[in-house]
Chains A and B, each alone.
Chain A
Amino acid sequence: MYGGGNTFEPIKATGLEMEDPAKLAEFEARIERGEKIEPQDWMPNLYRKQLIRMIEQHAHSEIIGALPEGTWITRAPGFRRKLAQMAKVQDEVGHAQLLYSAAETLGKSREDMITDLINGKSKYSNIFNYPAFTWADSTVISWLVDAGAIVNQIANAKGSYGPYCRALDRICAEESFHLKYGHDAVVHLATGTPIQRKMLQEALNRWWTPLMHFFGPPDKMSVHTEILVKWKVKMATNDECRQQFLDMYVPKIWELGLSLPDPKLHKNAETGEWEYTEPDWEEFKRVINGDGPCNAERLAVRRTAEERGAWVRKALLSPKATYVTPLA
């Protein structure tokens, strides 16, 4: 599960003048032809750095995203939902592993990625800094946060870096279950008792702003990423993803007789574009910089798990172990 908030920071210097022009031309021609770049290929430093950052943030988002939903495994109503919730949480953690591996092929070790996550140096998707108060919150996450992530991931799966694309193909295939499972759980509440409907409506109201934040700031506020588009690192703009999400899911929310807390939200019949009130982007910045309702808890939980598991890993480590960069 991952959104597009990753493009928030500007690229300070491309460093392209330092690269070998012949190799750069060959690299760009390969992408232009629609071929994938593989780990052993030559690539410009900027490409490597941006991909590491993007894939790493995606991996962190999967692992942190498992926390609010993991909370609900023991309290999910019914045995079947517990099984499904558990399978979904296992998927998310598995996705983190796939993504950490893809980032590792670019030369950043998993140890460094975990350290940077826990010490606040690397970011993850902002939406997981919000709490899941009720079972309805958990169903809204399963359906709509995963829906948003799929929009983003399907776009990125057509990118240029082989290992990332392969990880995303696998992830998207698994997330089709998350989406259906989440939708089913939402429909169950929406078509249930008045109390169930009320609980669901309240959860939707709570998650709407984080969901609008999910794809990152509007294109007009975002940093220019022309080179990343050319290199097929960034495959769709934040607004394109947001529009696609609204187009696919707002009608499905409305057909259940539920409302969304934005009176301005509607599809412009002439332009075919959705119009909406801009969510509070100051809140987005504040939360992404650490001051959200759950930032401290999420990182503290991860840190504790790492610290308390350290002795087991130490005991298991073979003195003969040697590390080399994974292959693909």
Chain B
Amino acid sequence: MNDVFQSLDPRINRLGVTVEGHLEAKSSLDQFETYEVFFQMKEGKPYEHAGIVHAPNEDMAFLFGKEQFSRRYTCTGMWIVKTHQVITSPITDHEQSAYDLLDHRLAETELNELSHFEVFHLKKRGRQQVHMGRVQAKGYHDAFKQASEHFGTEPALQVWVIRSQDLLFSDEADKDIWFTLPEKKYRDAIAYKSSDKINAYKERTAKQ
């Protein structure tokens, strides 16, 4: 077998890629740690969990999050946090609130001073976590307690609590990265209307 193959793609030929080869098994963290991405579709709407990105730092996570989750629809803001900085409750069924299942394992993570925490609820299985609001508490355990008092009557199949200072929030000045979204018509399905061409073709061939 040739060492270097001929591709139909001239760019690949220029790379001098060899056919034979074996990838050394990737070590852990080769793809970095993960960040959870939340975004807001319109002003005034609550932030919703969108998914994760792998990134070496917050700023890269922000860029990847923007590319991954806000290419198509309107977007007015984005939040980023390291996955391990999200503290989660157990997940439950529609009959029961996740606040009823909280255990005491969080007690040891108490912080010394009052901090702000962002609270998210999973309201229905299959959906994404939605931001409920902010509470002030002296640790994660306390934050869950505060959240229960403030938001406990809302559906909560699972609760996430994140210390506000761990989140990277987009600010006013960042918003212009989404301004040009509606201009990119070439990636909208509605920009492609071929029925006129098809009808013209049919008329033309019917006459012949």
Min CB–CB distance B126 → chain A (angstroms): 4
Q: Quick one: which of B5, B11, B34 contacts A323, CB cutoff 8 A? A: B34
The docked-state distance in angstroms from the alpha carbon of A277 to that of B18 is 38
Min CB–CB distance B17 → chain A (angstroms): 5
The answer to whether the Cβ of B173 comes within 8 Å of any Cβ in the partner chain is no
The docked-state distance in angstroms from the alpha carbon of A114 to that of B30 is 11
Q: Is the CB–CB distance between A87 and B184 below 8 Å?
A: yes
Q: Among B141-149, B163-171, B196-204, which stretch is in contact with chain A?
A: B196-204
Known interface pairs A35-B126, A38-B158, A321-B32; A296-B187 also in contact (CB < 8 Å): no
- What per-residue 1/0 map shows which CB atoms of A160-199 lie under 8 Å from chain B? 0010011100000110110111011001101100000000
Min CB–CB distance B52 → chain A (angstroms): 4
Cβ-Cβ contact count across A and B, 8 Å cutoff: 184
Known interface pairs A184-B192, A191-B198, A256-B198; A304-B15 also in contact (CB < 8 Å): yes
The answer to whether the Cβ of B109 comes within 8 Å of any Cβ in the partner chain is no
The answer to whether the Cβ of B133 comes within 8 Å of any Cβ in the partner chain is no
The answer to whether the Cβ of B116 comes within 8 Å of any Cβ in the partner chain is no
- Chain A: which residue is nearest B49 at the CB level? A328
The answer to whether the Cβ of A267 comes within 8 Å of any Cβ in the partner chain is no
The answer to whether the Cβ of B91 comes within 8 Å of any Cβ in the partner chain is yes
- Chain B: which residue is nearest A183 at the CB level? B194
Q: Is the CB–CB distance between B68 and A84 below 8 Å?
A: no
Q: Quick one: which of B7, B31, B32 contacts A297, CB cutoff 8 A? A: B7
The docked-state distance in angstroms from the alpha carbon of A326 to that of B54 is 10
The answer to whether the Cβ of B115 comes within 8 Å of any Cβ in the partner chain is no
Residues of B within 8 A of A188 (CB): 194, 197
Q: Quick one: which of A180, A184, A191, A327 contacts B86, CB cutoff 8 A? A: A327
Interchain Cβ contacts under 8 Å between A and B, 28 examples: A36-B125, A36-B126, A83-B186, A83-B187, A84-B187, A87-B187, A104-B52, A111-B25, A115-B26, A133-B8, A166-B51, A187-B194, A190-B201, A255-B202, A296-B5, A300-B18, A307-B23, A310-B30, A317-B32, A321-B32, A321-B33, A324-B83, A326-B34, A327-B36, A327-B52, A327-B83, A327-B160, A328-B51
Q: Is the CB–CB distance between B29 and A323 below 8 Å?
A: yes
Residues of A within 8 A of B112 (CB): none
Q: Is the CB–CB distance between B83 and A110 below 8 Å?
A: no
Q: Is the CB–CB distance between B7 and A316 below 8 Å?
A: no
The answer to whether the Cβ of B96 comes within 8 Å of any Cβ in the partner chain is no
The docked-state distance in angstroms from the alpha carbon of A109 to that of B34 is 11
Range for the number of chain A residues in contact with chain B: 35 or more
Min CB–CB distance A35 → chain B (angstroms): 5
The docked-state distance in angstroms from the alpha carbon of A160 to that of B114 is 41
Q: Is the CB–CB distance between B56 and A317 below 8 Å?
A: yes
The docked-state distance in angstroms from the alpha carbon of A322 to that of B26 is 16
Q: Which 10 A-B pairs have the closest CB atoms?
A: A36-B126, A111-B26, A316-B56, A180-B192, A187-B194, A87-B187, A184-B192, A71-B9, A191-B201, A118-B23
Q: Is the CB–CB distance between B192 and A183 below 8 Å?
A: yes
Q: Is the CB–CB distance between A115 and B25 below 8 Å?
A: yes
Min CB–CB distance B147 → chain A (angstroms): 17
The answer to whether the Cβ of A156 comes within 8 Å of any Cβ in the partner chain is no
The docked-state distance in angstroms from the alpha carbon of A210 to that of B203 is 33
Min CB–CB distance A91 → chain B (angstroms): 8
Q: Is the CB–CB distance between B52 and A326 below 8 Å?
A: yes
Q: Among A8-16, A93-101, A220-228, A235-243, which stretch is in contact with chain B?
A: A93-101
The docked-state distance in angstroms from the alpha carbon of A118 to that of B91 is 36
Q: Is the CB–CB distance between B57 and A318 below 8 Å?
A: yes
- What per-residue 1/0 map shows which CB atoms of B10-42 lie under 8 Å from chain A? 011001011101110111111111101000000
